[in-house]
Amino acid sequence: MSKALSDIDIEKERKEILNAFRGLMRTVKDRNKEDTRTIRRAFDVAVEAHKEMRRKSGEPYIYHPIAVARICAEEMSLGPTAIVCALLHDTVEDTHITLEDVEELFGPKVRLIIDGLTKIPEVFDENASVQAENFRKMVLTISDDIRVVIIKLADRLHNMRTLQSMRPDKQMKIASETKFLYAPLAHRLGLNSVKSELEDLAMRYTDPSVYAEIQNKLKSTKDVRNRFIRKFVAPIKEALTYEGYIFTVKARTKSISSIWRKMQTKEVPFEEVYDLFAIRIIVDTPTELEKPDCWRIYSIVTDFYQPSPDRLRDWISTPRANGYESLHTTVMSPSGKWIEVQIRSERMDEIAEKGLAAHYRYKESKTSETKFDRWISEIRELMASPDANAMDFIEEFKLNLFNDEIYIFTPKGELRVLPIDSTILDFAYDIHTAVGDKCIGAKVNNRLVPLSYQLQSGDQVEIITSTKQKPNEEWLRYVVTARARQKIKSSLNEVRKAIAMDGREILERKFKQHNIQFDSANISLLEKYYKLPTATELYFRIAKGKIDLKKLRELENKNGFLQLEKPKPVPRKIKKENISRVDNKNDTIIIGEDFKDIQYKMSQCCNPIPGDKIFGFVTISEGIKIHRNSCPNAEHLMSKMAYRCIKARWKGADLKESMAAITVTGIDRVGIVNRITEIISNQHNVDMRSISFETNDGIFEGNMKVMVYDTEHLNNLMQKFEQVDGVQRVVRKGAEAD
């Protein structure tokens, strides 16, 4: 009986899998019979390879590759080859299928892409993040085939959409990684809708309360917003129809993560974010008429609404490096609100939504492809450095991901595209490494400027060089591009290595003098003794006279081998609250328990208090530091050093007072300071550590540090402040403890 039921379930699953595959095939455009046969063969191989595997949610694993393939076809406009690769993307990593099998069945191109998609199996040393190495490998394949990266983004997007079935700590790690690496990459590749969704899905797990609050506010204001939009676009639609245009008007609401970013950067509440949405006008017009038609529509829009001259962006004449083309203007509505209007053709809109993947369908658009190829060559140059490790690569790579661009001209009128805030040095290294290394200044629009001068769009720049010039450490403060930074570091490393060779010779002579063997064991011991990361750093400091080699006498010399004296036990200065235990079953550090002597302390960057969602970070010299999940550094730590992050939670009772920092802003009124201090001292019996108030043009800001028991205690206090007449905003800050 049970066997029959099991057979029915398996049969039902097979039918559902087949239906999912048919749904995928309906989304694959422009396929011939051979493509259909190849995709079906890839599906059959994947089904067989993954037949014993299930996802965390309990469903058959094959649903994941089908979903990834569907995202590639439906949301990214990729063709049959990419669909095949998406279906097979986990087979080499997780099953018995090899790259040789893939090549034999589907050819060398599919093998190349699958290889790029396969994670690195080796174990790296504990100071490198495996995920960073995987990311580095993936980016390395961009110039071989951009589809590697786009399929990887589709894979990550589906994983994020189904993240609810994972453990909370896994959710935090994957979400942080997504925000740190994958969303910026989607942005750079022009996949705007993917970038926005990845950021929103990440925020749902990294900051769930803020996410839910903004989501609810968007829902509650939706009807009012829709009425406003209908009224705003009515005259524009009428005029465009009268002019004979074939067009679509869309209203695009800002993503939750970008609304939150705006609230933080502008320090305003949700209600004061003026550009919650943008109006998009998409015109159906031939390629040769795109530019004049877009400008004509701009003229019609500004006939009805007054534009802001400072907010006109022409990305049609000079497209962005990721291929984005559009005309943006911000106009004043009759109700006194600024509204962003985006004007573009259907071709531009598809490229804006689907990024560089859409260029496969628009081969005539050469400009953006050339820019992208240039960006690719910069990445490959960045990776060519023999000294670069994975984490350095990620840092440098991210530098150029989110940056807007400026347009600079050489003396001969050649256009160069650089990130915003680029300096003379960035421009010099963009021309050539030799020009950057010898740069002493420049003429910008015929005016002499220093190396640190920040360029503006439209500047014409002539670099001045000298054979006596060479890079120095200070230059790293002047550059923003990954290329310039890497070239400067490379030059400095060469100089550093030459100096280190002198230091090595000095140490060799010193060892001979004291009858000490010059070998790796003794060098490693000295690194530890002087607390230095590498032998090169040790030699460099010796050459510079920063290391006192007389201290060698303090070390025990046994037959030419150095030994450290046993360190004397240092009495622990740990208060009772700095004792905790680790729950081995769940690898969770429990804050506030009197059990084992595991030392931890609260991180000063975010000041966690009982009730906050927290995690522990194992530092090298200061034990475990406890951070809030919403700490500004959480994303960085969980993405780059997840192997050093451990789960943490508060003990349920007998919690001590903790310090929290609060900022109150509002309109200055007589007695408002007295009212706030009265709430602190009388109504809540809260101990106040510090308080300061500043008033400027009728606006006051109060900063205070108070002792509270937990988040509930703190929230009650903040709600009392909000009720004071004149107070506009109350926020908790991550401030340093006294």
CA distances from residue 597 to 578, 626, 635 in whole angstroms, order as listed:
8, 16, 28
Q: Which residues contact 687 (CB under 8 A, 6 or more apart)?
A: 657, 706, 707
603: nearest Cα among 632, 636, 639: 632
Say how many Å lie between the first and final Cα of the chain, rounded: 70
Separation CA 9–CA 25 (nearest Å): 24
State which H helix or E strand residue 131 sits in: helix 130-140
Separation CA 111–CA 105 (nearest Å): 9
Match 């206090």 to its residue by tokens: 717
What is the chain's Cα-based Rg? 30
Question: Which is catalytic among the residues 93, 104, 267, 694?
Answer: 93
Pairing of strands 439-444, 598-602: unpaired
Dump the DSSP string for 276-344: SEEEEEEE---GGGHHHHHHHHHHHHHHHSEEPGGG-EETTTS--TT----EEEEEE-TTS-EEEEEEE
Separation CA 597–CA 581 (nearest Å): 7
Encoding tokens for residue 394?
A: 């990620």
SS3 readout for 136-198: HHHHHCCCCCCHHHHHHHHHHHHHHHCHHHCCHHHHHHHHHHHHHHHHHHHHHCCCHHHHHHH
Match 């328990």 to its residue by tokens: 593
Separation CA 514–CA 592 (nearest Å): 51
Separation CA 141–CA 575 (nearest Å): 52
Contact 590, 651 (CB under 8 A): yes
SS3 readout for 657-701: CEEEEEEEEEECCCCHHHHHHHHHHHHCCCEEEEEEEEEECCEEE
Contact 600, 626 (CB under 8 A): yes
User: Could you tell me which residues are beta bridge partners of residue 442?
Assistant: 449, 463
Separation CA 240–CA 292 (nearest Å): 14
CB hemisphere CA count around 159 (13 angstroms)? 18
Separation CA 125–CA 119 (nearest Å): 16
Separation CA 607–CA 605 (nearest Å): 6
- Report the C-alpha dihedral over residues 539, 545, 551, 555, rounded to 10 degrees: 0
659: nearest Cα among 702, 691, 613, 624: 691
Question: Which is catalytic among the residues 13, 35, 94, 101?
Answer: 94
597 noted as active-site residue: no
CA distances from residue 101 to 84, 97, 106, 168, 421 in whole angstroms, order as listed:
14, 6, 8, 37, 49
Q: Which residues contact 607 (CB under 8 A, 6 or more apart)?
A: 628, 658, 659, 660, 661, 734, 735, 736, 737
94 noted as active-site residue: yes
Residues serving a catalytic function are 93-94
